[in-house]
Structure 1
Amino acid sequence: MAQDVLIEIGLEELPARFIDDAEAQVLDKTIKWLDEQRISYSSAVSFSTPRRLAVLIEEVAENQVSIEEEAKGPALKIAKDDEGNWTKAAEGFTRGQGKTTDDIYIKEIKGTSYIYVKKFIEGKTVQSLLPEFKDIIESITFGKNMRWANETLRYARPIRWLVALYGNKVIPFEIAHVKTSNFTYGHRFLSDKLTIGEPKQYEQLLNENYVIANAEKRKEKIVEQLDTLQTKNGFQIPVDTELLNEVKNLVEYPTAFVGSFADSFLALPKEVLITSMAEHQRYFPVERDGELLPKFVGVRNGDDYELETVIRGNEKVLRARLADAEFFFEEDKKLSIDFFQEKLTRVVFQEKLGTYTDKVNRVKKIASHLAEELALKDGKEIARAAEISKFDLMTNMVNEFTELQGVMGEKYAAYFGETKEVSQAIREHYLPKQSHGELPATTVGAVLSIADKMDTIAGCISVGLIPSGSQDPYGLRRQATGILRILQDQHWDVTVESLINYTLSVLADAGLTVNASANADLRTFFGSRAAYLLREENVESDIIHAITDNQLGVFHFAVDKAHVLSVKKADEAFKNSQEALVRVLNLENKVEDKNHEADAALIQTESEQAFYDAVKSVKSNYAAHLEAQNSEAALQLLADLADNIHAFFDHNMIMDDNEEVRKNRLSMIHELSMLILQYADLRKIAWKQHA
């Protein structure tokens, strides 16, 4: 008879940022284990709160599914001797499968005969397998782990109880000296120890004891409460999705409330108020018609008992934090940009890359060079923005509220008399803050953002700080993605390789040690981020390699070429052309002298002459199309050479016995190959027309 299974891990309060991923792991690992163990079930659903991770599996079968397997043994010539008797190899194989030589049958694979036996594997009882759930629980990973007491297990927080039920029976196992049982706990302050009669009672039992175990239902309850407060009070609560997800993972039973603060604090920049509320206290700001009100909305972990006392306590905490912010703001305004700039000379950016002042000087060079390369008219503003781009890091406000770096830079720069373009660029040069976050809106901000990120990436990789696995303490992947997105957004005709080369030269000129492999490492690194972005645009892996492996070049043009090739890959009309172009590239490795130019005087046949003339005739137009980033037209020019290419190959011996003729023909092949490779390495594409 099918039974339900419940597994719950009871913990000290988990950090909110770990919970969603941990819950997903519990469910994914459970489903994978059930499938691997051949255990039938009707459904599996996960739960999570700050104090628990759980999974409920419904209608779990009593036994594994029994299977019949075919086991392959040694080749027949090894399994039998010259007299036709079974050898020790055959006997050992059958014995290992729980069979005898009488069970052997023979099958032929690619002309060779092998011995086989069939074995029946009877399914075990599920109840006997369920203790293996211990391995699933112990395999859950977190962003940061700890050990407690004398335990060897590393986990995000100490395990305090374990529930493991198969129907109404406890599944026996033990982790970190905690044994499984049918006991759980409701809300820490509003309930106590609870007995679970059967798995299906779990969610309702917790709900009756002030725990909403379903995370999405908790979030829905918060949203409903926020909507009610908006309607009741006639204001708006701008809900940040990340903050909402965090708050739902901070509480087990949410109750929203409205608090207030003194009107005088509204004189602070809006960003300071919102950061104080959202980032530090996990409150939602309150607006009316786009204007911030002296109010906030918090979410209590519990019911509405003595809610007024809770509100007063939260107001007191926020008042103290805003008073600090007000003090820092006024103190910072008494100083100057030069004062903060001088302090940067004594703050290390990275031990091998010098101080923040050293970094700013490098960024200024890179930004000015980029502005010159792009013939921008904002050179003066770009240089000034680069020069003071980090001054706000030394302010009291940013020291207290690190999330406001750049934001306060813009505010203070404007206060101290800098232009709007310069002030805005100081904020924008930190953008994007996430891989797909907001990009700089101004030219000055975009240039400064690229320059700052290039210095960080090239500097770190040059001194060996290359991201590996999930380790990327300087956020280099995000910053490289940001550079590529800005280049694409601005449609700037600057190659990634030229940015790398110039940045490395700035580092070298500054007297920093640059690893010999830095250039190659940076090209590979940016190539991987370009591949990430192209995959986001549904470009297939083979086309990505064809576009990025040789040289990334101008990124927005690389993206255009990738999309053109994605269409051509499945276009039957392009089959003749791609076969011709790939035919040329396949002979490129036969070219020994890459510098040798083809000599028209050595041409012997009409088809050879036609090929020679056709390649020469398209070169200038092809170069013009590449220069104009006209990806469709450039590829079409190459495609139009198809008939001449096929005729050249079909009517001439490329590898002619005459060395001069052979070398001349290979030089013609090389010339066209270089043109094709400027577009993409078409050899790396799995052309669908061949399927």
Structure 2
Amino acid sequence: MAKDLLFEIGAEEIPAGFMPNILGQLKQLAETKLNDAHLPFESIATYGTPRRLALIVKGLADTSAEISERHKGPSASIAYDADGNATKAAIGFARGKGLDVADLVVEDGYIYAETKTAGVPAKDIVSEMLPQLITGLNFPKSMHWGNLDAKFVRPVRWLVALLDEEVIPVEFATVKSGNVTRGHRFLGADEITIKNAASYVDTLKENFVMVDQDARRELISKQLHDIAASKNASIVWDDDLLEEINYLVEWPTALCGGFEESYLALPDAAIITPMKDHQRYFPLVDQNGKLLPMFLTVRNGSDHSIEVVQAGNERVLRARLDDAKFFFNEDRKKPLIDRQDGLTKIVFQEGLGNLADKTERLLKLGRVFGEECGLHEDAAVVLERATELAKTDLTTGMVTEFTELQGVMGKEYALLDGESEEVAEAIFEQYLPRFAGDVLPQTEAGKVLSIIDKVDNIVATFSRGLIPTGSQDPYALRRQTIGILNILLGSEWNISLRPIFKASMELLNVAADKQDELLGQVEEFFTLRLKNIFLDREVPHHVIDLLLSNNELSVADAEGLVNALLANRIDENVELVQAYTRMYNLVKDLEYTGVNSDLLKEDAEKALFEAASKASEASLAAWEANDYAAVVAVPATLVPAINKFFEDVMVMDKDEAIKSNRLQLVRLAYSVMAIIGDISALK
């Protein structure tokens, strides 16, 4: 009869940000192990609160499935002698499979052993599996406690392991499993007996623990929106904040608090950031989107004495807003332009000067980038001014206290100083995108400032030998690189980043004999990130490898070619791939120096020369016009002439002059593919 399995790991409060990944790991790991053990089940789910991780498997079979396997042995001629008697090879093979030699069967000239493994009781499988689930989880950070060698995300305090009502013995870090869990830290019982696995969720609910995170999230959202509606207000919504709150509470109760209207004189960002990032409050706005002197938060408990909790939250927020008000008033005593001297006191990176030095580099790098992309004169003026002010808000008290406001307060202060909206917006946009899925810069100056700031960061960090490896990326260089690529993918600029990288290395005083190596490292880093972007869009691997084999492509070229290749799948044209692969093998290392038409003797080579000359011109013209569809279409037009050439012409002629000329002809024909990429990537 099918049974339900419950496994709960009780611990000290687990960081909210870790929980989704841990629960996903726990489910995947359990599912894999049950499948590997051939133990059938109906469903599997994981639940989590700040104090517990829980696994529930429903409909677990009593025993694992019987396994029948067929093992191939030596050939029959080796297994049996001329008289049909089993040899040592057959006897040894049968013994190794636990069979009598008479049980072996002969088929297709080989001997086979058919074995059956009896099913294993579910209890035995689960007893072995549960400790492996604990040790198989990976965390961003783990803890040791006491004098134990065991480590976990937080100290483990209790374990519950039940197969229906039967306790499965498990031990970890001196904690032994049982059927006793704990309720809400303040509202529930210290010890709660779980009668059986099926009653787990309801039993905890009776003790003020809503263990199902999906139900908890839905309830929190409903409570928040109901309160907002009652106030005729809208929530400044944030899914990430909701997810964090969801894993901070076991019994959620939303409430509304308020603050003095006088604080609304502050910029909205100076109010919202302390609310969301520091206090985990949801701000409220009126129907016109204007910030209201109210907030929503979620209590980990019931509505008992909710007014006391409300007053406490209001008191804490008031202190935060007082700080913000003080910093804002102090900051306004000095305009941003007068804060440039303060940049000399902020170190950029070890051995690479301060932020004043970085600002000077960005001013020069902006001019280089502007020339490369043909930046309009008006945008260039905006870029120059925005770059001068870009880092000055880092010297303000507001940004020192609330680092999340870098760029945000720069924009606010620039507007208050009388700077143009374009300059203020570029100051803000320099940090975009800040995270995956964030908005991209929209202004020309903002795009350039964002790119050159990130390029300076990346090249500077690489120059110190701090290249990200594995999961280690303390300077977030991968995120910044993807940001640059996404900005370029969404822009009209068809430019190479190589001149920008080289200019950055010069400005960072990278030794001349180190620049080529550093350039290669940076370009390879960017190429890998671009490959990941295309993979996320489900572009086939070999299509990506084809175009990225051409290291002369700009980001815009790569984007255009990807779209063209997806529309015209030349990689699936077997005849085309074979024809160009044959040419590639002949001329992959040959430099094109020209074809002497006087040395062309055969009709097939004359025809190929004429067709290849026209195709090469058409390909180059399409490339210059950024007509990537035409570029991708050209190679197919040469296939008949290429095939005829190889049928009728001996390329490796005895006459060196003719041989060399024919190789040059092949190189000319291959050029219409080389402009796209290396055909060998499609092998």
Scaled to the shorter chain, the TM-score interval is over 0.9
Q: Kindly provide the amino acid, as one letter, of the partner of residue 271 in structure 1.
A: A
Equivalence for 1:526: 526
Q: Aligned to 2:663, which of 662, 666, 681? A: 666
Equivalence for 2:453: 452
Match runs of 1:56-67 below 5 Å? 56-67=56-67
1:460-497 per-position Cα deviation (integer Å, ceiling 9, x unaligned): 22322222222211111111111111111112010233
1:123-164 per-position Cα deviation (integer Å, ceiling 9, x unaligned): 111111212211112111111111111121222111111110
**Structure 2 contact 459–505 (Cα < 8 Å) conserved:** yes
User: For residues 321 and 11 of structure 1, what CA distance do their matches in structure 2 show?
Assistant: 31
When structure 1 is superposed on structure 2, of 513-522 and 482-491 the one drifting more is 513-522
1:636 aligns with 2:637: no
1:517-560 per-position Cα deviation (integer Å, ceiling 9, x unaligned): 32222222111111121123221111011111222622223122
**Structure 1 contact 527–549 (Cα < 8 Å) conserved:** no
Q: CA deviation at 1:657?
A: 2.8
Equivalence for 2:45: 45
1:235-256 per-position Cα deviation (integer Å, ceiling 9, x unaligned): 1112211111111111111101
**Structure 2 contact 571–577 (Cα < 8 Å) conserved:** no
Match runs of 1:198-237 below 5 Å? 198-237=196-235
Quickly say closer, same or farther: Cα 1:674–1:387, change in 2 above 3 A. farther
Match runs of 1:133-532 below 5 Å? 133-192=130-189, 193-289=191-287, 290-376=289-375, 377=377, 378-508=379-509, 514=514, 517-532=517-532
Q: Kindly provide the amino acid, as one letter, of the partner of residue 461 in structure 1.
A: F
Equivalence for 2:555: 555
Q: The residue matched to 1:38 in structure 2 has which SS?
A: coil
Quickly say closer, same or farther: Cα 1:523–1:86, change in 2 above 3 A. farther
Quickly say closer, same or farther: Cα 1:571–1:370, change in 2 above 3 A. closer
User: For residues 215 and 199 of structure 1, what CA distance do their matches in structure 2 show?
Assistant: 18
Quickly say closer, same or farther: Cα 1:82–1:576, change in 2 above 3 A. closer
Q: The residue matched to 2:508 in structure 1 has which SS?
A: helix
Q: CA deviation at 1:431?
A: 0.3
Q: CA deviation at 1:578?
A: 4.8
**Structure 1 contact 272–325 (Cα < 8 Å) conserved:** yes
The number of residues matched between the two structures is: 678
Quickly say closer, same or farther: Cα 1:464–1:85, change in 2 above 3 A. farther
User: For residues 402 and 644 of structure 1, what CA distance do their matches in structure 2 show?
Assistant: 64
**Structure 2 contact 616–669 (Cα < 8 Å) conserved:** no
Q: Kindly provide the amino acid, as one letter, of the partner of residue 329 in structure 1.
A: F
When structure 1 is superposed on structure 2, of 27-36 and 549-558 the one drifting more is 549-558
**Structure 2 contact 347–354 (Cα < 8 Å) conserved:** yes
1:362-385 per-position Cα deviation (integer Å, ceiling 9, x unaligned): 222222101111121222322232
When structure 1 is superposed on structure 2, of 343-352 and 115-124 the one drifting more is 343-352
Quickly say closer, same or farther: Cα 1:577–1:97, change in 2 above 3 A. closer
**Structure 2 contact 39–122 (Cα < 8 Å) conserved:** yes
User: For residues 468 and 80 of structure 1, what CA distance do their matches in structure 2 show?
Assistant: 56
Quickly say closer, same or farther: Cα 1:325–1:78, change in 2 above 3 A. farther
Quickly say closer, same or farther: Cα 1:375–1:567, change in 2 above 3 A. closer
**Structure 2 contact 352–460 (Cα < 8 Å) conserved:** yes
User: For residues 499 and 114 of structure 1, what CA distance do their matches in structure 2 show?
Assistant: 65
Q: Kindly provide the amino acid, as one letter, of the partner of residue 344 in structure 1.
A: L
**Structure 1 contact 162–179 (Cα < 8 Å) conserved:** yes
Equivalence for 1:689: none
User: For residues 210 and 56 of structure 1, what CA distance do their matches in structure 2 show?
Assistant: 19
Q: Kindly provide the amino acid, as one letter, of the partner of residue 93 in structure 1.
A: F
Q: CA deviation at 1:598?
A: 2.1
Quickly say closer, same or farther: Cα 1:512–1:260, change in 2 above 3 A. farther
**Structure 1 contact 578–639 (Cα < 8 Å) conserved:** no
Q: Aligned to 2:120, which of 117, 124, 132? A: 124
Q: The residue matched to 1:6 in structure 2 has which SS?
A: strand
When structure 1 is superposed on structure 2, of 660-669 and 74-83 the one drifting more is 74-83
Q: Kindly provide the amino acid, as one letter, of the partner of residue 16 in structure 2.
A: A
Q: CA deviation at 1:91?
A: 3.8
Q: Kindly provide the amino acid, as one letter, of the partner of residue 620 in structure 2.
A: A
When structure 1 is superposed on structure 2, of 537-546 and 96-105 the one drifting more is 96-105
User: For residues 467 and 76 of structure 2, what CA distance do their matches in structure 1 show?
Assistant: 53
**Structure 2 contact 40–60 (Cα < 8 Å) conserved:** yes
Q: CA deviation at 1:306?
A: 0.2
Quickly say closer, same or farther: Cα 1:98–1:232, change in 2 above 3 A. same
Q: CA deviation at 1:351?
A: 1.4
When structure 1 is superposed on structure 2, of 230-239 and 414-423 the one drifting more is 414-423
Q: Aligned to 1:655, which of 634, 652, 655? A: 652
User: For residues 259 and 349 of structure 2, what CA distance do their matches in structure 1 show?
Assistant: 40
Q: CA deviation at 1:285?
A: 0.1
User: For residues 463 and 634 of structure 2, what CA distance do their matches in structure 1 show?
Assistant: 41
User: For residues 63 and 38 of structure 1, what CA distance do their matches in structure 2 show?
Assistant: 9
Aligned CA RMSD, in angstroms, stands at 2.2
Q: Kindly provide the amino acid, as one letter, of the partner of residue 349 in structure 1.
A: F
Q: CA deviation at 1:190?
A: 0.2
**Structure 1 contact 353–512 (Cα < 8 Å) conserved:** no
Q: CA deviation at 1:418?
A: 2.9
When structure 1 is superposed on structure 2, of 304-313 and 626-635 the one drifting more is 626-635
User: For residues 602 and 341 of structure 2, what CA distance do their matches in structure 1 show?
Assistant: 75
Q: CA deviation at 1:331?
A: 0.8
Q: Kindly provide the amino acid, as one letter, of the partner of residue 626 in structure 2.
A: Q
Q: Kindly provide the amino acid, as one letter, of the partner of residue 221 in structure 1.
A: L
Q: The residue matched to 1:409 in structure 2 has which SS?
A: helix
User: For residues 607 and 508 of structure 2, what CA distance do their matches in structure 1 show?
Assistant: 50
Structure 1: give runs of 5+ residues left out of the alignment. 687-691
Q: CA deviation at 1:629?
A: 1.1
1:102-134 per-position Cα deviation (integer Å, ceiling 9, x unaligned): 3333445xxxx5443111111111111212211
Q: CA deviation at 1:85?
A: 6.1
1:298-329 per-position Cα deviation (integer Å, ceiling 9, x unaligned): 10001000000000000000000100011011
Q: The residue matched to 1:546 in structure 2 has which SS?
A: helix
Equivalence for 2:611: 614
Quickly say closer, same or farther: Cα 1:123–1:214, change in 2 above 3 A. same
When structure 1 is superposed on structure 2, of 381-390 and 317-326 the one drifting more is 381-390
Q: The residue matched to 1:58 in structure 2 has which SS?
A: strand
Quickly say closer, same or farther: Cα 1:42–1:542, change in 2 above 3 A. same
Quickly say closer, same or farther: Cα 1:307–1:369, change in 2 above 3 A. same
Quickly say closer, same or farther: Cα 1:480–1:77, change in 2 above 3 A. farther
User: For residues 366 and 87 of structure 2, what CA distance do their matches in structure 1 show?
Assistant: 77
**Structure 1 contact 69–119 (Cα < 8 Å) conserved:** yes
Q: CA deviation at 1:423?
A: 1.8
**Structure 1 contact 286–295 (Cα < 8 Å) conserved:** yes
1:569-595 per-position Cα deviation (integer Å, ceiling 9, x unaligned): 2898x6655554444334333x5x525
TM (norm. structure 2) is: 0.95
TM (norm. structure 1) is: 0.93
Equivalence for 1:70: 70
Quickly say closer, same or farther: Cα 1:654–1:107, change in 2 above 3 A. farther
Quickly say closer, same or farther: Cα 1:570–1:642, change in 2 above 3 A. closer
**Structure 2 contact 615–672 (Cα < 8 Å) conserved:** no
Quickly say closer, same or farther: Cα 1:490–1:516, change in 2 above 3 A. closer
